[in-house]
Amino acid sequence: MKLTKFQLYSVLLILVAPVAYLETPHVLIHTLYANSWLAVLAATIPGLLLIQMYYYIIQKSTQPFPLMLDEHLGKTLGRIVGAFYIPFFILVCSYTLRLFIEFMKMNVLPATPISVFIGVLLLVGFVAIKTGLPNIARVLEPTVLVGLSFSIIILLIALFNNFHLDRILPIGYMNYKSFGEATLITTFVLGKMMPVLSLAFFLDNKRNSQPLMRYVLLTFIPLITLTTMTIIITRGILPALSLTFPLFSTIRLARIGAFIQNLDIFFVAIWILGIFGAVTIPWFMTCYVTQQVFNLRDYRFVAAPTSILIGFLSILISRNNLEILIWSHTLIPLVYDLFFIVIPFVLFVIVLFKPYPLTNSTEPAHKVEPPPA
């Protein structure tokens, strides 16, 4: 399995952007109100530190995650910690899938059973994983180019049609504890780049992962800042607080003249492609980590049983959209912080006192498929 630099950039951006584009501004507005966009800008500094931490771990390792855990923690402890990441990545897939279901059920196809959404997305993801990671990355390349361009354009159209700058004032008048919380919320979203600890070894040169992560950061921060500001300026704080998906209500305001309206249908189509990647990549990580932890011959056959677990957990995770909002504001940030930031930080502290490896071999990362018969 080999990835080009743009493919890795596309994969990392899909991991952090689609869900955050819809969800993060809503969470930040509940935390910091009109100044929530400032927290996104402030997350640039911890985001750079997070990237440097991931890159340092990559540089000090000769094997990809989760085998690097064996290298730095010992085989027994490394396998135990790696095994905990399997249900965690399943939870990431299930939560993302359930968020997609709630959005579609509330705004697009309210009469459609949730089993249809689950079945279709899991079927497409299953086929994608069976074809391999490089093919998934090839699909995500045009998705990133089209999706990113359209996301910015439709936000600007909505902003210019309903521009009320006074709604963002006063700037800087805020509770600094809430400001710190909002900054951490944005940072944990950037922590979704943690699979780079595995994916960087699929590049021809793993050193290229550092500038690619920085490019993802330089894309993510302006996008979420613009999204948050647009919601506040066009909708106002009180309506944004009362809406479950304020971004979608904002996009519905976008129109060009009196003839081009209802642009939200294009947003839904492109966002579904982004959610496909946001579910499939953690699902691939589930299969890949399972293969490496239990020393299996291939990762593809793990896709079938894990699809059942993801589907059932996405149903059990909540009974309604209110419970999914509670997950978004309470449990999910804590769990993501633990697995995406805290555990890698412990690993970073350990490798900090180790010398750079004499070899930069990435052979273990590529030996994940059985030889042809």
Quote the pLDDT of residue 370.
46
Q: Rounded distance, CA 251 to CA 156, Å?
A: 10
Q: What is the pLDDT of residues 306-342, one digit of tens each?
A: 999 999 998 888 777 778 878 877 888 889 889 999 9
* Amino acid, res. 237: I
The answer to whether residue 366 scores a pLDDT higher than 70 is no
Strand partners, 256: 260
The answer to whether residue 373 scores a pLDDT higher than 70 is no
Quote the pLDDT of residue 258.
64
Closest CA to 50 of 182, 189, 181: 189
| Fold classification of 5-364 (topology level) | Hydantoin permease (1.10.4160)
The answer to whether residue 364 scores a pLDDT higher than 60 is no
- Show me where the domains of the chain are located: 5-364
Q: Which range among 169-173, 191-195, 254-258, 295-299 has the greatest average pLDDT?
A: 191-195
The answer to whether residue 112 scores a pLDDT higher than 90 is no
Quote the pLDDT of residue 240.
83
The answer to whether residue 350 scores a pLDDT higher than 50 is yes
Q: Rounded distance, CA 77 to CA 82, Å?
A: 8
Helix (H/G/I), strand (E/B), else coil: 354: coil
Quote the pLDDT of residue 320.
75
Q: What's the chain's average pLDDT?
A: 87
Quote the pLDDT of residue 244.
77
| Better-scored residue on pLDDT, 146 or 371 | 146
The answer to whether residue 172 scores a pLDDT higher than 90 is no
